[in-house]
Amino acid sequence: MKVIDQVMVPIVTGVCLVLLVAFLKNVLMVPQEVLSRDFIIYVIIYIGYITAYSARDDDKRRFRYDTPVFWSILIVIITVAIMAIYALP
């Protein structure tokens, strides 16, 4: 596995987490209390993605599209879904 493949998912995860907090705080004006409470849950979710990606066996893929690009797209979709949940009501 190339080095770029090893760091792609953690970098995308970190960027998505920072953008999520910035979007929720500055664009949607989510109150500080709600944001600080929910931030812990989001950190746990994103750490779960990093752990699941890191724990997989590089020689055996679980399914056809088990690549860093797939995992990165999945993380971006989850981030957009969280933003949409806050933007609905």
Give the Å distances, CA to CA, from 59 to 16, 56, 63, 67: 28, 9, 12, 12
Contact 35, 21 (CB under 8 A): yes
Contact 7, 67 (CB under 8 A): no
Domain boundaries, the chain: 1-55
pLDDT for the residue 77: 95
Confidence of residue 68 (pLDDT cuts 50, 70, 90): confident
Which of 63-67, 68-72, 78-82, 85-89 has the lowest average pLDDT?
63-67
Confidence of residue 60 (pLDDT cuts 50, 70, 90): low
Residues 6+ apart with CB under 8 A from 42: 17, 20, 82
> What's the predicted TM-score (pTM) here?
0.82
